[in-house]
Structure 1
Amino acid sequence: MVQSSRMPVYFICHGAGPWPWVAEMQAWHAQMADALRGIPRQLGRRPRAVLLISAHWEEPVFTVQSAQQPGMLYDYGGFPAHTYQVQYRSPGSPALAQRVERLLEQGGIAVRQDGQRGYDHGMFAPMHIIYPEAQVPVVQLSLRSNLNAAEHLAMGRALAALRDEEVLIIGSGASYHNMRTFGIAGHAPSKRFDDWLAQTMLQTTPAERSQRLADWESAPGARMAHPREEHLLPLMVVVGAAQQDVAQRVYFEERFMESATMSSYCLGAAMDKGIAADIL
């Protein structure tokens, strides 16, 4: 593909808990894993660092992880004992944390640093597939616990300059996240919401896209797909950081875990039909 000097951004579905380390779960996540493995090829070069916004970290004020070597946070329950010994030892980047703090402050957005926060599974499960050798520094950035979509779009806009500094911005969540309706009950509502999301991401102008995402609760099946929106908000951040860029759907699955329709998106990459799952 033709390489752009500016890094693209990704919204990815990170899957269920520590799935890369649970053999019984790997078949359910096979298509998702293939999409994640494709990211380094799509980029065409290794980023200087990754800034990852995980659905599994909320704070009253946007908070950036600043440890030189973050620990591990096993934020799941009921999985095999060995999954609580998993290590993903990518380094952190205090310098990137400071840069994030400065950009957000310049944008009038309150922010603080946290030198104690470890990596949660919204980071280490997908990053284990993307960069299994953990050679790229990763810094996590929290959601704000008020879960306001417009504020997360604005935070993304404030961070856009990082894309010109070889920083890969990844929003890690899910296009559908209702644990009570995985199964037959979840298929129709997840499909309705995913169809709306595809139309929003692929068939609208940048201004329309941002407005529709800010008003996401009016979408068909919205609150069935996201009873609580923390898994959708990482999408707002990456769209804010790439608000003028064309989107591609890079992962699409109608029967994830035998029920839900799920999708992931990239914005700002050179168009390549061999990479995109579809461009509607």
Structure 2
Amino acid sequence: MLPALFVSHGAPTFPLTDAPARFFLEGLAKSLSEKPRAILVVSAHWESLVPSVTTSLVNATIHDFHGFPRELYEIQYPALGSAWLVERVAALLEAAGQTVTHDAERGLDHGAWVPLRLAFPDADVPVVQLSVQTARGPEYHYELGKFLAPLRQEGVLIAGSGSFTHDLSSFREYYNALHAPAPERVQVFAEWMVDALETGRTKDLLCYRTRAPQAVRNHPTEEHLLPLFVALGAGGAGATRHLHTSTTHGILRMDAFAFGDKA
């Protein structure tokens, strides 16, 4: 059975950089016990009032950024959609009392296609994207992941894509410093989160905003951490594995985790 994953997708320029997190993602698919039947990706860059899923036959590639190198806008990731997975996601969430909407126009934003293109460069695994509901917080998304957990037994890779830290107020300071070390405010928050995840302190994690040091500084808004809680909930009682840790641009910790892994 596949684990549920959380990965950090970095700045939009991430696919063009020689960064450790990029090399990690390029080897991620080979580390899985099986090739996924389909992928359900939960990206920080699609926010909605209620859960929404993409229903395109072929996913368009959304270049949802401005002012970056031309080659970024030339990247395409034409993964097929999956009507079967859309139906399963809707059935699981509706059975739990959720309202689910369908979006036939939306493609994959860079939070989805950047890590998927690195991990599955042939775009040969069907992909459906699920939105986040930022105003509803960590506990809601943790429960959402629990509702989706049965998908793992059906060959679906549940992948949350966000950022372990995301203080963009300092991004200009670090934009030209790809390999700058993390400042203390980033380091202390990330260390607290890693320890809480590895020791199973779920309640602390759900209350991270008041319990973790420098939490609000590292996540002024929550959307980039909420995909982690979906993956955590979907992982169930299995082991947590810290798959990768590195820093890009000083303020972006690029950590990745597998939840529910039996290995």
Normalising by structure 2, we get a TM-score of: 0.92
What is the CA-CA distance between 1:160 and the residue it aligns to?
0.4
CA distance in 2, matches of 1:166, 1:10: 14
CA distance in 2, matches of 1:261, 1:82: 25
Could you give the per-residue CA deviations for residues 220-258 of structure 1, whole angstroms, max 9, x where no partner exists?
A: 1100110001000000000111131211111111x4224
What is the CA-CA distance between 1:259 and the residue it aligns to?
4.8
Task: Give yes or no for the alignment of 1:257 onto 2:257.
Answer: no
Is contact 2:2–2:33 with CA below 8 Å preserved after alignment? no
- RMSD value, Cα: 1.7
Residue aligning to 1:229 = 222
What amino acid sits opposite 2:248 in the alignment?
Answer: F
CA distance in 2, matches of 1:260, 1:138: 26
Is contact 1:150–1:214 with CA below 8 Å preserved after alignment? yes
Is contact 1:104–1:159 with CA below 8 Å preserved after alignment? yes
Residue aligning to 1:276 = none
Task: Give yes or no for the alignment of 1:46 onto 2:31.
Answer: no
- CA distance change for structure 1 residues 61 and 47 in 2, over 3 Å: closer, same or farther? same
What amino acid sits opposite 1:243 in the alignment?
Answer: G
Residue aligning to 2:235 = 242
Task: Give yes or no for the alignment of 1:196 onto 2:188.
Answer: no
Task: Give yes or no for the alignment of 1:170 onto 2:159.
Answer: yes
Deviates more, 1:114-123 or 1:159-168: 114-123
What is the CA-CA distance between 1:213 and the residue it aligns to?
2.1
Q: Percent identity?
A: 35
Task: Give yes or no for the alignment of 1:160 onto 2:152.
Answer: no
Any residues of structure 2 matched to 1:92-241 within 5 Å, and which?
Answer: 92-182=81-171, 183=174, 187-204=183-200, 208-209=201-202, 211-218=203-210, 219-241=212-234
What is the CA-CA distance between 1:62 and the residue it aligns to?
0.7
Any residues of structure 2 matched to 1:29-44 within 5 Å, and which?
Answer: 30-44=19-33
- CA distance change for structure 1 residues 83 and 96 in 2, over 3 Å: closer, same or farther? same
Residue aligning to 2:260 = 268
Q: Which runs of 5+ in 1 are unaligned?
A: 1-5, 272-280
CA distance in 2, matches of 1:244, 1:50: 21
Task: Give yes or no for the alignment of 1:82 onto 2:71.
Answer: yes
1:13 to 8, 19, 24: 8
Is contact 1:147–1:229 with CA below 8 Å preserved after alignment? no
Deviates more, 1:194-203 or 1:81-90: 81-90
Residue aligning to 2:177 = none
State how many pairs are aligned.
255
Is contact 1:178–1:225 with CA below 8 Å preserved after alignment? yes
Q: Which runs of 5+ in 2 are unaligned?
A: 175-179
What is the CA-CA distance between 1:13 and the residue it aligns to?
0.5
Is contact 1:57–1:143 with CA below 8 Å preserved after alignment? yes
Is contact 1:18–1:125 with CA below 8 Å preserved after alignment? no
What is the CA-CA distance between 1:148 and the residue it aligns to?
1.6
Is contact 2:145–2:229 with CA below 8 Å preserved after alignment? yes
Is contact 2:80–2:127 with CA below 8 Å preserved after alignment? yes
SS state of the match for residue 78, structure 1? coil
CA distance in 1, matches of 2:229, 2:86: 20
Could you give the per-residue CA deviations for residues 128-170 of structure 1, whole angstroms, max 9, x where no partner exists?
A: 1101111001110000142421111111010000000000000
Deviates more, 1:107-116 or 1:154-163: 107-116
CA distance in 1, matches of 2:253, 2:111: 19
CA distance in 2, matches of 1:33, 1:103: 33
What amino acid sits opposite 1:165 in the alignment?
Answer: E
Is contact 1:61–1:145 with CA below 8 Å preserved after alignment? no
